[in-house]
Structure 1
Amino acid sequence: MSSVPITKHGAELLKQELARLKSKDRPAVISAIAEARAQGDLSENAEYDAAKERQSFIEGRIAELEGKLSAAQIIDPSLLDKDGRVVFGSTVVLEDLESGDEVTYQIVGVDEADLKENKVSITSPIARALIGKSAGDVAEVQAPAGIREYEVLEVRYV
């Protein structure tokens, strides 16, 4: 199995979710199943069916998170080689050459991507166009509306 890059912060979030699922959600659903079972006839017991479905979801999510964490290559952006180039985990300040707008993105793993937080996946077109660029370079990004050009203003390793 190949390793999947993830930032240190992203790995911590996955570990916290896994701990919550194991310590709170799993025991709660087991208790709900026991309560529903105590009500008698399981064939028409909606609470039992809902609890079993919830248990199935929780167990699936636990297995998924454990798999992701076991395959994760955790990268701490603050420890990266600071040669000024855009790499996984770096934060990039860009200027849209058409509109003049400035945007800031951090390049993160697939599971961490969240545009509301300006975190873009390493597999996204903009991240792929930026990898290896330095301040002053222009990146051409294939967007749905056509090719967009961005100038790299700054590269940070936070």
Structure 2
Amino acid sequence: MSRGFVKEDDQEEIPIVPPRADLPEGVTNYVTQIGMDELLKEKQSLIDEKENLKVTTESDRRIAVNHINAKLQLLQNRINTAKIIDIDQQPKDEVRFGARLTLKIGNNPKLQHYQIVGVDEANIAKGKISFISPLAKVLISKKVGEKAALKIGKEERVFEIVDIA
């Protein structure tokens, strides 16, 4: 049947679900145990939301369920591809996935604290940077006292590793 003969009210709204944090094709989805726990908690939250929907019409219910199912599908893919890295087994003398870093940035006397984590757990406001971020890439394998430079726009910023935990 031609779409011209379908009533507008019968049209199902296609849910638009924003993509999850970028993970380039072929890159392993590394996560910390905390990151995996957060993913599983998010999944349970979506399941609970779907079970407790408060909508007035069947159409609204289908739209809401479709939206939640689309989010669950993206999330389940991340969970299925996650590789948990035991940060306690990582070397303590060099920057690796899961490391908590204290950095001196340029001439700024104030020290900054970051942890290198998976893409889904990255949150700069909490000092968590993704292992695929440019900053993490230049810091990986460095040791205390070493410096790494990162070109930011026209400026080159130097990061000195003060401590690794």
Normalising by structure 2, report the TM-score: 0.78
Say whether 1:78 aligns with 2:103: no
Shift of 1:125: 1.2
1:40 corresponds in structure 2 to none
Please tell me whether the aligned partners of residues 93 and 153 of structure 1 are also in contact (alpha carbons under 8 angstroms).
yes
CA distance in 1, matches of 2:120, 2:57: 35
| 1:27 is the counterpart of 2:44 | no
Counterpart of 1:54 in structure 2 is: 64
Runs of 4+ in 1 over 3 A off after TM superposition: none
For the pair 1:36 / 2:45, whether they are aligned, the reply is no
Judge which range, 138-147 or 6-15, deviates more: 138-147
Matches within 5 A, 1:86-125: 86-125=95-134
8 A contact 1:125–1:143 mirrored in 2: no
d(CA) in 2 for partners of 1:99, 1:2: 34
1:8 and 2:33 aligned = yes
8 Å contact kept, 1:105–1:118: yes
How many angstroms apart in 1 are the aligned matches of 2:65 and 2:153? Answer: 40
Give the direction of change, closer, same or farther, for the CA distance of 1:138–1:89 in structure 2 (3 Å limit): same
Quick one: which amino acid aligns to residue 53 of structure 1?
Answer: I
Normalised by the size of structure 1, how large is the TM-score?
0.81
What are the ranges of 5 or more consecutive residues in structure 2 without an aligned counterpart?
A: 1-25
**Which secondary structure does the structure 1 equivalent of 2:101 belong to?**
strand
Match of 1:134 in 2: 143
- Cα RMSD for the two superposed structures: 1.7
When you count helix as a share of all residues, which structure comes out higher? Answer: 1
How far did 1:118 drift? Answer: 0.3
Deviation at 1:52, TM superposition (A): 2.8
SS at match of 1:105: strand
Residue aligning to 1:18: 43
